[in-house]
Amino acid sequence: MPQVSSLPRLQLACLRGVHARPDGAEAVLALAGWQFLRLPLTAREAARWRPLVGQAVQVDLDAGRLQPARGPHHG
């Protein structure tokens, strides 16, 4: 059964960390308020995103993928 969410598909988030896991890696993302999301990554994806820890990124909640943030961001 599909899940219904009130969140927009693309969310601006802060990449809080990239951590190793036995099966690859995971990104830890801070969403709005006190919401956090753990997103599985491959080793290649982890290497790509690790330099951006602490910066704004966009997360596609439907596809479970990260994208570079577009435009100016303050916060």
pLDDT digits (tens, 9 = 90+) for 39-72: 999 999 999 999 999 999 999 988 889 998 876 5
> Is 24 part of a structural domain of the chain?
yes
What tokens were used for 49?
């995103």
Helix (H) or strand (E) segment spanning residue 66: strand 65-68
Residue with tokens 């969410």: 5
Sorting pLDDT into bands at 50, 70 and 90, what band is 4?
low
Q: DSSP secondary structure string, 10-59? A: EEEEEEEEEEEETTEEEEEEE-STT-EEEEEE-HHHHHHHGGGTTSEEEE
> Is 52 part of a structural domain of the chain?
yes
> Is 29 part of a structural domain of the chain?
yes
> Is 27 part of a structural domain of the chain?
yes
Number of domains in the chain: 1
> Is 70 part of a structural domain of the chain?
no
Rg from Cα positions in the chain: 12
Question: Which residue range forms the structural domain that includes residue 37?
Answer: 10-61
